[in-house]
Structure 1
Amino acid sequence: MTTIRLPAGQPPGSVLGAAPDAPEDVEAYLATGGYADATGPDELLGHLAASGLCGRGGAGFPAAVKLRAVRERGGVPVVVANGEEGEPGSVKDRWLLRARPHLVLDGLARAAAVTGAVRGYVYLSDPVAADRVRRALAEREPCLPVEVVETAHTYVAGEESAVVRRIDGGPALPTAKPPRPFERGVGGAPTLVSNVETLARIALIATSPGLRESIARSTLVTLSGGGAAAPVLTEVPYGVPLRVLAAALGVPDAAGALMGGLFGGFVDARALDLPLEPGALTAAGTALGCGAIRFLAAGACPVSTAADAVGHLAAESARQCGVCVSGTAAVRDAVYALATGTAGPDTPVHLDRWSRGLPGRGACGLLDAAAGIAGSLLRSFPEPVRSHLRGPCPGCAAVSSPAGGQGRRLTVAVPEIAGTAVGDGTVPRSPVLKGTP
């Protein structure tokens, strides 16, 4: 079971709140200053720009720039809270919608005020979260019409053009860009598609502008891996070394990690001294992405983890782009051949070529993720790759098929929250995540 842990020295203006294992009703949210009118739209936009708040959906685009682009586009904008979490190792967005829906709705309303939008949507695939959001809307009438739109859970369903397409009544599949949603989105209107954690942080900055830097420079992370270590959802400030997070999870001797869900690729043990900070991670050739980090325990096989990851991506391809269908399948089959000891001596050469040539050729980031996993596996773990050319390791015994389904081994369960009809509804108070600043 995934544990929610309050960090030691919990940052002020925390998205986790004081009681992350219980649903927050409107009275509790109002008691924290939620929905207050103290910060106007223009003032809030200035605070967001000064804070440097970036999106938490994966791309990390500056929030103020995105809001301003929608506002300045003209017309009557639309705002969307994107809670569709496609990464199998991430649970933060579903937890937020289940536990703190008012925080997200507050952020959505403030984004609407900044952009001039007159209608909003909450987009998700989790039925428990959908119920909580609808209850929250019933508890307090929103300042603009808000509709909950449910979709089937897939890897690509949360991509912003897929979000627009689904809200407009079509399938949740990406479209070619341009136009991007801020140019032409829902119903043809300029549309802000914003991750729910980003909106939560916008609401917190509006409520506590004096804490804007702390709020903007803290992030939710989902930590998993490490064999018997139970997954953890927590909040940490930027700058915490990855190695500290691994130790806090219970994997002090981690051999590396799969970063950013499936988008940031692999890093080896040396990279665990990197700080959890988007710029530093990007400069090192990896990414924070959605904040999902899967640590590799000492002795764990990165090749088997890579086989799981690319197998999942190939199975989740939208099958709209021929290069994605063929490219992800080729990467999947090559990594699977390594895992099963059936790879030829030229397999690493093919993987290296694909890792360089495939990114940017699909309509969304799925193909880029598969290529990134292949390239980072070669760079970070060259010796395990070479040893698999001679034969499989015991850790690859679970890699039974290249046809998909491996994503279940990477999937992290959403933390149980009392009163949300998950499990038996009883959730013990979680301990402090020791070792985290």
Structure 2
Amino acid sequence: MIFEPGEEALTVRNIGPARITSGLETRTRLGILEHRAVHGTPPQLPPDDLMALAGVADLRGRGGAGFPFARKYAAVLRSAHRRQSPVRVVVNATEGEPAARKDEMLLTRAPHLVLDGAELAAWSLNAPEVIVGVADGPGERSLLEAIDERDSDLAFHVVRVPERFISGEGGALVRAINGQVPIPPGRKVRAADSGVGGVPTLLSNAETYAQLALIAQLGADLYTAVGIPTEPGTVLLTVSVPGNGDPTIVETPTGVLLRDVLELCGTTAGRGVLIGGYHGAWLSADAANTVRVSRAGMKAAGAALGAGIVAPLSEDACPLEETARVLHYMAGESADQCGPCFRGLPELARTFSELAAGEGEPEAVLKAALIGEGRGACSHPDGTARFARSALAAFPDEIAIHAAAGSCNPRTKKVLPLSTVTTGASKMLLDWSRCDGHGLCSVLAPDLVQLDGNGYPQKTVMAVPEKFRDTAEKAVEMCPALALRIDEATAP
């Protein structure tokens, strides 16, 4: 039975003709026959032709970093040639950002476009398999159905990773595929040099592969006919509409005004708009109403498209209180492997909470944001600090109001989405003085407990989402050393 998203299907809207979302105007999901009718069969291209197409179309990574795909592909080729090594192709569809849903939309509604792009890359690199990293949910179920539908000589493997912010980082996904704890590796390792199984690995985001398939189908001339000349094509945006539950996924050519995207979704810039997610930046309402959807436009406004997240706040929500909530969440998402995260992010969250309560100063936030700048084991502390600083720049009037009155008394609270895996979840606490390293907890609750090289739990505090509550209680009950206990959740 083919997976059908039904009521789970995310709403898709378009500015201009549908490209990557073509066919979704009338169907909730494109099965293999419908997909072939809309998008055709992808060509098998040699490496030089594939790189040329991606280069002319200026295809960039759509997972956040925006790195040129052709350069990443060339690096994998060079590394494989130098080492006389096989190659692996990996699709990162984990989407660890709580406010991001565009990759989920692709997996649930147009999974074959993603798989076409990955196959295209694998064929050209002579890679024997495609590995897709996903989180648990409808996207995984649709993807498995799509793999069953396809007639391909390639092997497809799906790897599920925990629903955490840092699990979406490329190095964390490679570690998960390699059977390690899915956290950033702690040192800079290029997947192009040493990725899955230690071999050169082409790793890109789900939308990136979907765009690659689209470029191959349309050809460079037709693909670049929309958008601005320096950034051709379309982008997918996840637009959260305040009070509307699930967000809307918008496909738009580059260069359109952001306010037109918001108007299409029935909303406005409100008190400000978050661009790019929780490693992104706030824009004031005035800035959001004049900025264009492009890398250059966002950069000029002090933001970046990142993973394509657009989250406006309504007039009755407080940007300072929302920022403080997110910063506490981001501090809880630390991998606990370096000081800038382990100590710096809680301090940043604390100082910003004091500012939101009218008891702190912007200078204290700026000082806390400098604790880990450029010194973290991954980009998590830098991205979180950038998010905090952008709030100071975007909302000076709100800061003054809070300093004078203690709050702006928002009528709407807890607007920005936070993953239920950490925020608002109960916690399982480890008493190091009791733990004897039996490792039984990791067997009983593998989604919650990961062991270090010596067989001890890596963390002393482990978030327990409701769906893992039973396994956590079993681990506490069965611990031979009585080293575990459950600490009940408190609302964030």
Task: Tell whether the structures are fold-level matches, with TM greater than 0.5.
Answer: yes
Residue among 354, 359, 378 paired with 1:364: 378
CA RMSD of aligned residues (A): 2.5
Q: Which 10-residue stretch deviates more, 148-157 or 133-142?
A: 133-142
Distance 1:143 1:34, change over 3 A: farther
Distance 1:219 1:252 in 2: 20
Q: Which amino acid aligns with 2:366?
A: D
Residue among 394, 407, 424 paired with 1:392: 407
Aligned to 1:377: 391
Distance 2:422 2:356 in 1: 16
Once the two structures are superposed, residues 87-119 of structure 1 have per-residue CA deviations (whole angstroms, 9 ceiling, x without a partner) of 111101111111111111111111112333222
Q: Aligned with 2:139: secondary structure? A: helix
Aligned to 1:14: 20
Indicate whether 1:164 and 2:183 are aligned.
no
Indicate whether 1:212 and 2:226 are aligned.
no
Aligned to 1:303: 320
Q: Which amino acid aligns with 1:127?
A: G
Q: Aligned with 1:220: secondary structure? A: strand
Residue among 127, 131, 141 paired with 2:141: 131
Residue among 143, 152, 157 paired with 2:153: 143
Q: Aligned with 2:297: secondary structure? A: helix
Q: Is the 8 A contact 1:53 1:63 kept in 2?
A: yes
Aligned to 1:287: 304
- Which aligned pairs between 1:9-408 and structure 2 lie closer than 5 A? 9-11=16-18, 13-15=19-21, 17-19=23-25, 22-37=28-43, 39-74=45-80, 75-209=85-219, 210-213=221-224, 214=226, 217-227=233-243, 231-252=247-268, 254-272=270-288, 273-341=290-358, 343-344=359-360, 347-390=361-404, 391-395=406-410, 398=413
Q: Aligned with 1:313: secondary structure? A: helix
Distance 1:128 1:4 in 2: 15
Aligned to 1:5: 12
Q: Aligned with 1:73: secondary structure? A: helix
Distance 1:279 1:113, change over 3 A: farther
Distance 1:203 1:228, change over 3 A: closer
The higher radius of gyration belongs to 2
How many Å apart are 1:56 and its aligned residue? 0.4
Distance 1:20 1:169, change over 3 A: farther
Q: Is the 8 A contact 2:269 2:312 kept in 1?
A: no
How many Å apart are 1:228 and its aligned residue? 5.4
Q: Which amino acid aligns with 2:189?
A: P
How many Å apart are 1:261 and its aligned residue? 1.2
Q: Which 10-residue stretch deviates more, 26-35 or 15-24?
A: 15-24
Q: Which amino acid aligns with 1:42?
A: D
TM-score, scaled relative to structure 1: 0.85
Identity of aligned residues (%): 34
Q: Which amino acid aligns with 2:377?
A: A
Q: Is the 8 A contact 1:2 1:233 kept in 2?
A: no
Greater relative CO, 1 or 2 (CA 8 Å, sep 6+): 1
TM-score, scaled relative to structure 2: 0.76
Q: Which 10-residue stretch deviates more, 184-193 or 31-40?
A: 31-40
Q: Which 10-residue stretch deviates more, 130-139 or 272-281?
A: 130-139
Distance 2:124 2:186 in 1: 28
- Unaligned 5+ segments in structure 1 are 410-437
How many residues are matched?
Answer: 402
How many Å apart are 1:308 and its aligned residue? 2.0
